[in-house]
Amino acid sequence: SANLSIPAIISAVPTYKAVHVYDPSSGQYAAYTSSTAINYNTGSTNAPAGWSVGPMGGFWVKLEPADPVSQSFSITESMVDMDQSGISQLRTQALNQLEVIVSSPNGFSDKTMVVFHSGTTRGMDQGWDAYKRKSPLSTHPSLFSVDGNLEFSINTLPEVVQQSLPLGFESEITGNFTLQVDLDNFDPHTHIILEDQLTGNFHDLRTGGYSFQHNQPGTSSRFILHFSGYPMDLKEWEKNFSLGVLVNSGSRVIYIPNENSGPVHLRGFDALGRLIFEMRTDHQVDLSQYDSPGIEILHVTGSGRSVRMKF
């Protein structure tokens, strides 16, 4: 018997540069790209062995029906890795990556990975991203990031300045769940705030896990991960993200991180209360052009609420 090299499998797939390997010991699909991986129970002999598919192991790849012609995939002798010498070829650099883990009351768990790397996008980046393959077992939860109608197991985003990422969560089991992060390979200076849209709570995931009640079996889109390279206390996050906006007075930049919140109405006033500018926007705005005579008060209206703040 022999292992199949995952780097060789990825190279042979025409377009979708990821491999999903079912791990019977965890009941989940591990996901591998040419840059990183989500693996389960790495100490178990039943789990996928590192970066290879073991004997009698099953795996899943995605072929496009027309690109511009139908694609095909074949297992060849060149994919056989008797000594797993090709395993180290996958990861060639340290990545800024965050594992997000959800644990269910029946002892099972799932995780998704968020990676930040320059030159990538919020959509599918071949060789960097992997779609979500959910557990076939109804006893196991599923956790994934969401972009439009796409669900990701591994989602690589542009470098952190200000990002918000919706999370999808699915479980047929109800009860008390815990959501936490593994920070071992993540930038220690980036703030990670979890927004629970169902309860309205904001939680700093660097302080520990977040416990929540899941009372309705099925899929939930209640969570959003907010990332920021700028320091803010939790009350500032709550005030700004309830409006779908983050204001950084140091760089004179306004960010609209939550794409689902819709546009916001911005009005800037000087120290005498005179209106300097007025606009509606749903994206990043650089207000440095208004430094003279200068904006002192910013009035933000959105999501049915409004706030006035020093700028």
- Give the pLDDT confidence score for residue 91 in this predicted structure: 38
Higher pLDDT, 28 or 52: 28
Q: Give start and end residues of each alpha helix (H) in the chain.
A: 6-12, 234-241
The amino acid sitting at 75 is I
The model's confidence at residue 275, banded by pLDDT at 50, 70 and 90, is confident
Total count of residues recorded for the chain: 311
- pLDDT of the residue at 62: 84
Give percent of the chain above pLDDT 70: 71
| 83 has a pLDDT exceeding 60 | no
Given a cut of 90, whether residue 306 has pLDDT beyond it is: no
Rounded to whole angstroms, how far apart are CA atoms 282 and 245? 9
Nearest partner of 235 among 267, 277, 193, judged by Cα: 193
* pLDDT over 60 at 168, yes or no: yes
Q: What is the pLDDT of residues 207-266, one digit of tens each?
A: 999 999 999 888 888 998 988 776 555 666 555 655 555 555 555 556 555 444 567 788
Residue pointed to by tokens 């409004």? 306
State the pLDDT at residue 6.
Answer: 80
Is residue 285 pLDDT above 80, yes or no? no
Higher pLDDT, 33 or 86: 33
Asked whether the predicted pLDDT for residue 119 surpasses 80, the reply is: yes
Q: Report the mean per-residue pLDDT for the chain.
A: 77
Average pLDDT over residues 162-186: 91
Query: Which range among 171-180, 232-241, 263-272 shows the weakest confidence by mean pLDDT?
Result: 232-241
Residue 12 three-state SS = helix
> Is the pLDDT reported for residue 87 higher than 90?
no
Separation of alpha carbons 46 and 48, rounded Å: 7
pLDDT at 92: 37
Res 177: pLDDT:
97
Q: How many CA atoms lie within 13 Å of 256's alpha carbon, on the beta-carbon side?
A: 19
Question: pLDDT at residue 195 above 80?
Answer: yes
Higher pLDDT, 259 or 157: 157
Distance CA 179, CA 174 (A): 14
Q: Centre a 10 Å sphere on the Cβ of residue 38 and count the other Cβ atoms it contains.
A: 21
Q: What is the dihedral of CA 234, 114, 246, 251, to 10 degrees?
A: 110
State the Cα–Cα distance between residues 38 and 153, nearest whole angstrom.
Answer: 8
Under the banding of pLDDT at 50, 70 and 90, the label for residue 106 is very high
